Amino acid sequence: MIHPLIYLSALSLLAGAATVQQFNGSSVLDISSCPIAYYGQIYNQLDVTFTSENVAICFNVFGEECIVGPQLTEEVFDFFVNSTDNGIFHTNLPNLDTVLSCTVNLKFTDIGKEVELVLGNFGTQAAVYLFTELEGSTVFDVMISDQKVNKLNVTNTPEHLQEFSVVDISACRFLGAVYPTDSVVSFDPDTCTNVTCSSTAELLDVRCGPSETCQGNNICLMDTIYTCTLVGPTVIDFNGNVAYVEDRCAYVVLSDLSDPDYRVIATFQERRRKDVSFLDSFIVEGPGVQINLKQDGIFRLGDTSITSEELSQLIPGMQFDLDQNGRLSTFSMFNYTFTFFFDGTMAQFSFSAPTQELSLQGLCGNSSESLSELRVSDLSAGGCEILYNDATDSSINCTTATEFCRRLLEDTFSSCHSFVDPMPYISACIDTLCSYPSVDGVNCEFFGAYVRACSLHGINTANDWSSVADCSLPPPFCQGRTCTPNEFCAEGLNSGETSCFCRALFASKYRETNTLGSPTVCGPKTASLTLVGCLLEEKGIDYSALHLFDPTCRGQIDEQTHNVTFSYDNINTCGTKVTANGSQIIYLNAVTNLSNPNDIITRSDQVYINFTCIQTQPDDKTVSFKIKDSSVIVHVTSEIWNYTLTMNAYTDPKHTKLLNPDSEVLLDQRIWVELNSYELDDNLIKLVTNSCWASPNPSPNGDLKYDLIVNGCPNDPTVTVLENGQGTTNSFAFKMFRFIGYRGEIYLHCQVQLCIENCAKACKGARGRRSLKHTHKSEHSAFISMAWIN
């Protein structure tokens, strides 16, 4: 037999490469390289304290979890960590089921004899043994919360040397209390909860599984997964029944008669057709508050976006927890915890509960109310219940659509058929695709909804379904894509991207006229053209690439309406071309994506939207008045352009003394007459006075006339013509006269015309003559007259 002293000393040195540290006096030791589970509590340091009464090896700073031995004569000790299994623990403690990982070794000296304490790390288990050469009994008390729970005792006599003392310090801790291995910690049959401390000192919490519910008496029953799907115009409720929403109104999706303050409401809107509606948004109601959730995935209170934390504060008792993508959230309502998924096109509500008769109401629940009774009129748009009947779409083939939808019966999905019935999804798919074209990713929405319902049961078909359905995975998500009320978010022209497209009711007025926006607005000195952003989006036109003839003149987008406006004025004409066509002045421009409007070829889709304003020559009008009635004003109104012509008479060449009712005009007195056209572009348009003549009666075509100006030039020696055809204003002067044999009013008539080039008149001298039965009417001219009392 090997002497115990020699045997244990050899064990202590098995570490070989272990570094031995020597400490003098009380010290704190770092044992994080070999932490010890002392009765279920893991510790990473030891506090070794020498006193006049004992030596204490403590695990916590409060000195409650300690191994306490007798006073030692020397306050010096060695410390090292050993990683070798020496077999001593398992030989003496067969209940240690785990493998030794390492040991913490403390070697003290008392009266020249060794006293060694070794702590063994067995993972969740732990043990300690004491070896000493001292004669007599050496006792180390094992303490928990200042209470002695065990002891290490080595007794050596000359006749007998005890080998060593070993103690198992394995246990579990629960709510601060210590429980031995293989014991029951807590048992509650009402909650089906059974907490035990295993043989390896592991705390085991046994309760109903994640898909089970405790029915009491420690009985767990398997839960039923209830799922309600809203996709396209259809609702598949918790019991697999299919409802079809035909209008564009708001409906109660979830409610409970026991708690009427809380509701979840879904709104439906049309997309490309007026006669097919789609899921569009949600409204979550709590006491006195309404929260909106639109396709962009943002919760809003009114127009203000809010976080899930703010939402939980606004609706007490409802806790929302959004995932990092914003698609998935969980919330508690009506004593259920719902999982809610909404990707902007398809939504699912699901929860687990024992099979039972649900008390939930609404489109998803067991509501006995009809569809019209579930409609929420005060949250619906006016006229939402009106049904339309659009023209037949030749791209819709119901036979092909049916075959496509029935792919859900193929083997790819068979593993899920016993968990989720595919027939409601097939029915919803057929009903929709037989009425609506397979665009915007609509066909994929039904397959995506079924696949996700399967995933709730742990059935994964996501790797195969996309190829069977010819769909991309994952489907487009509209988070962050905020569309206007006249638009909807859907898969764009490029796969995987989303865009805002026009709703059918809004776009119908443009599609009927095959236009992309409103008519051109022509003002006195400005013109503008507004295009509808979602109409451009549908045709794949990038508004930022569009411009007028001048490429620097680009459209301005309205962030609220997404409309794009192009404009020019008399200061910045943006390359506008001005031409004359008979009685019309034409301002021509265009919205285009061509770098040069004169190019004859292009290698990209051409955009050329005519942007034209037409200014008509003034209509033939004669306005007569006596000189006492002040100036003559003629308002000329065409279909598009409005402007004003005036004729004023003055007694001075600077045109500062306007004739008034008290002015006396004498024979042979010089009068200055000014013709002015307001609200015309002086840079482009000129006013030409072609002829002026006098008559003794209001008609400009009477038997007796006297020519003052003919063909833009003086026809009377007293006449002076100034700035004719040089701007939008010209004038002439003449000396007052009267008709022989006539008394009363004398009328002055002028015929004017607009001109855009070569407008100035070159006159050589003047001659006077009387004219009888002379016609001064031009085909595209306008007349303005004034009168005075003779």
Q: Which is more confidently placed, 358 or 386?
A: 386
**Side chain identity at residue 411, one-letter code:** D
Instruction: Reduce the DSSP state of residue 467 to 3 states and report it.
Output: helix
Residue 766 pLDDT level (bands cut at 50, 70, 90): very low
What does the DSSP 8-state code read for residue 517?
B
Across the range 299-325, mean pLDDT stands at 81
Find, among 610, 623, 619, the residue nearest to 638 by Cα: 619
pLDDT attached to residue 283: 94
What does the DSSP 8-state code read for residue 406?
G
Q: 186 with 194: CB under 8 angstroms?
A: yes
Residue 616 pLDDT level (bands cut at 50, 70, 90): confident
Residue 2: pLDDT over 50 = no
Half-sphere exposure of 613 (CA within 13 A, CB side): 26
Express each pLDDT in 81-95 by its tens digit.
998 777 789 889 988
d(CA 81, CA 116): 13
Across the range 22-44, mean pLDDT stands at 94
Q: Which CATH superfamily is domain 498-616 in?
A: Zona pellucida, ZP-N domain (2.60.40.3210)
Residue 462: pLDDT over 80 = no
Contacts 24+ apart (CB under 8 A), 178-184: 178/39, 178/40, 178/144, 178/149, 179/40, 181/95, 181/125
Q: Strand pairing partners for 172?
A: 179
Largest CA distance in the chain: 173
Residue 15: pLDDT over 50 = no
Express each pLDDT in 715-729 by its tens digit.
999 999 999 988 889
Q: 659 with 651: CB under 8 angstroms?
A: yes
Q: 537 with 494: CB under 8 angstroms?
A: no
Residue 732: pLDDT over 90 = yes
Express each pLDDT in 258-273 by its tens digit.
888 899 999 999 999 9
Strand residues in 627-769 grouped as ranges (E)? 632-637, 642-650, 670-678, 686-695, 704-710, 713-714, 720-722, 729-735, 745-755
Q: Which residue has the tokens 């809107």?
A: 269
Q: Which is more confidently placed, 740 or 701?
A: 701
Surface-to-core class of residue 533, CB atoms within 10 Å of its CB (0-12 exposed, 13-18 middle, 19+ buried): buried
Output the six-digit token pair for 609.
């939207």
Residue 66: pLDDT over 90 = yes
pLDDT attached to residue 475: 54
Residue 72 pLDDT level (bands cut at 50, 70, 90): very high
Give the pTM.
Answer: 0.60
Find, among 398, 230, 255, 427, the residue nearest to 334 by Cα: 255
Half-sphere exposure of 80 (CA within 13 A, CB side): 18
Give the pairing type, strands 328-333 and 203-206: unpaired
Record: fold of 644-760+779-788? Immunoglobulin-like (2.60.40)
CA distances from 499 to 287, 478, 517, 661 (A): 35, 8, 18, 69
Find, among 464, 354, 348, the residue nearest to 415 by Cα: 464
Residue 490 pLDDT level (bands cut at 50, 70, 90): confident
Phi, psi dihedrals of residue 648, rounded to the nearest 5°:
-125, 145
Q: Where are the domains of the chain?
A: 21-169, 184-221, 398-480, 498-616, 644-760+779-788
First to last CA, the chain: 159
Q: What is the mean pLDDT of the chain?
A: 84
pLDDT attached to residue 617: 65
Residue 629 pLDDT level (bands cut at 50, 70, 90): very low
Across the range 54-78, mean pLDDT stands at 92
Across the range 509-531, mean pLDDT stands at 88
pLDDT attached to residue 368: 76
Instruction: Reduce the DSSP state of residue 465 to 3 states and report it.
Output: helix
pLDDT attached to residue 498: 82
d(CA 500, CA 534): 6
Helix or strand (DSSP H, E) at 449: helix 442-455
Residue 176: pLDDT over 50 = yes
Helix or strand (DSSP H, E) at 538: helix 533-538
Q: Which is more confidently placed, 301 or 596?
A: 301
